[in-house]
Amino acid sequence: MPELPEVQTVVDGIKSYLEGRVIQKVVVRQHQLRWPIDVNLAHELVGLHIDKVWRRAKYLIFCLGEGTLLIHLGMSGRLQIVSDNAPLKKHDHVDLHFSSDKILRYTDPRRFGAMLWTKAPLHQHPLLKMLGPEPLGPEFTPNYLYHRLQGRAAAIKCLLMNAQIVVGVGNIYAAEALFQARIHPAKPANLVTKEQCSHLVLAVQKVLMAAIAKGGTTLKDFINGEGNPGYFTQQLQVYGRAGMPCFQCKYTLSNMKLGQRSTVFCPHCQPA
């Protein structure tokens, strides 16, 4: 499942190939993603030059001169550079062709992803303008987090996953960061202390950077088109380990639902 580290890995992997190329042809086999792909997408994109490929939150952003292609991988999306005669699989929804024998292929079994074309300035785009700071950027500081949590009674984990507070922290990394910071996931956000905010900011950055470092491994699979979903799993301390002993204290890890999401934590290391 693509979280921020994997999206970053995808960007790092494809940008050097894509930047400077001109889109020659677009094939859309499945329009029904999270939002339907514009029926004119192919018509709009053909002939455009890819100036820049970058990431904001979990969105991949292709700057194409007169407009922008926004791609979200949702839960199960993949972007691969493959040979133009690579065999077509069931959920290969979109291909971008260039003046070479390689294509960019978008695959997404669960179709929670999105591919949107916009000519509006990016800072005004409704999907981007409400986003909080990047977790690895200079704005995400203990002070910032502490102030954003004031007056909020919701569980800290829910706010950590709220993209208006900070982007890119999904269910896995929220659980891992709270464990590292030794904060109970259900703790009301306004009761999290300044000191805990310091630990939490560091923990979020640490788990994300560790995963990005591991993403290098994923990158190979990604380029080879083999796909290995097991990345980073060896390093997970709590996620997916409910009922198993805590690596730190051997206490049995608990599971609870917060915001409809399963949340694993250690009742001993993360006291209420």
φ/ψ of residue 198, rounded to 5:
-60, -45
Distances in whole angstroms, Cα of residue 48 to Cα of each of 21, 69, 72, 93, 240:
8, 11, 20, 20, 43
Q: Does residue 139 carry a catalytic annotation?
A: no
Only one of the segments 47-55, 164-172, 176-184, 217-225 lies at the binding site for DNA (rule: CB under 7 A); that segment is: 164-172
Q: Which residues 6+ apart lie within 8 Å of 52 measured at CB?
A: 15, 19, 61, 62, 63
Only one of the segments 43-51, 126-134, 191-199, 202-210 lies at the binding site for DNA (rule: CB under 7 A); that segment is: 126-134
φ/ψ of residue 29, rounded to 5:
-95, -25
The answer to whether residue 11 forms part of the interface with DNA (CB under 7 A) is no
The answer to whether residue 56 forms part of the interface with DNA (CB under 7 A) is no
Output the CA torsion 183→188→192→198 (10° steps): 60
User: 212: which 2 tokens?
Assistant: 């990005």
The answer to whether residue 133 forms part of the interface with DNA (CB under 7 A) is no
Catalytic choice (6, 55, 58, 148): 58
Classified as helix, coil or strand, 264 is strand
The answer to whether residue 189 forms part of the interface with DNA (CB under 7 A) is yes
The answer to whether residue 254 forms part of the interface with DNA (CB under 7 A) is no
Site string for DNA, 71-110 (x = CB under 7 A): -x-xxx-------------xx-----------------xx
Q: What is the contact surface with DNA in residues (CB under 7 A)? A: 1, 3, 32, 34, 57-58, 72, 74-76, 90-91, 109-112, 126-127, 130, 151-155, 158-159, 161, 163, 170-172, 189, 239-240, 259-262
